Amino acid sequence: MVFSKLWTVTIDNNLSFRERVALGQFSYVDPDITEDHFPIGSGGKIDMQVKFFQPRRLVFFSQVIVKMKKKEKSLIGIEELFAIAARYPEVSMIVALGAVWRFKLNERRCCAVPCVYQVDGHRELGLQRFHCPPKNRRWDPDWRFPFIHRIVKVTKVIIKPKVESIEPPQGAQADEISL
């Protein structure tokens, strides 16, 4: 995998969910991207540095998750995705694997993660939906997976909601990719 330079972002927890979405200047926002599905913190600001890693080839979802856990990296949530989208409008093909919405569809357990991508030159905030556990979900080399490199500064106390995560399927291997 290829790592990018450090990107500095500020999460402003004084902004509402709707205000954060608006700052991204998206042409389209998936109607399921709501505060009910993706709760956010309130009060204060967090300055942080993030890095992107990008596979050089097709990778399985479980490979990315296992490798990041092994390296003790924190994948970004929706708050960080909003901050990246607002600060860097030229960046797309970003997946927030640290923000997971779980739901049922026809009695099947499903998950969705928010992502920023381009369609016909228009920047969109959408969801990648898949069955849980996502053992067969693949990502092509165009996608970037941001992770938190370092917290630089925290202003005021932050009240963070419980964040869901996706566990890789039992027996998932990460040694097929390198970070």
Give the predicted TM-score (pTM) of the model: 0.83
Average pLDDT over residues 24-48: 93
- What is the per-residue DSSP string for 72-129? T-EE--HHHHHHHHHH-TT---EE-TT--EEEEETTEEEEEEEEEEEETTEEEEEEEE
* Residue 29 counted as domain residue: yes
Instruction: Calculate the alpha carbon distances from 106 to 33, 63, 103 in Å.
Output: 20, 27, 10
* Residue 33 counted as domain residue: yes
Contact (Cβ atoms closer than 8 angstroms) between residue 45 and residue 9: no
pLDDT tens sequence across 117-155: 999 999 999 998 877 766 667 888 888 889 888 888 888
* Residue 174 counted as domain residue: no
Contact (Cβ atoms closer than 8 angstroms) between residue 164 and residue 97: no
* Residue 168 counted as domain residue: no
- At 160 the pLDDT is 57
* Residue 166 counted as domain residue: no
Number of independent structural domains in the chain? 1
* Residue 179 counted as domain residue: no
* Residue 82 counted as domain residue: yes
At residue 170 the predicted structure's pLDDT band, cuts being 50, 70 and 90, is low
Q: At residue 157, does pLDDT exceed 70?
A: no
Average pLDDT over residues 2-31: 91
Q: What is the average pLDDT score of the chain? A: 83
Show the domain range for 121.
2-155
* Residue 162 counted as domain residue: no
At residue 86 the predicted structure's pLDDT band, cuts being 50, 70 and 90, is very high
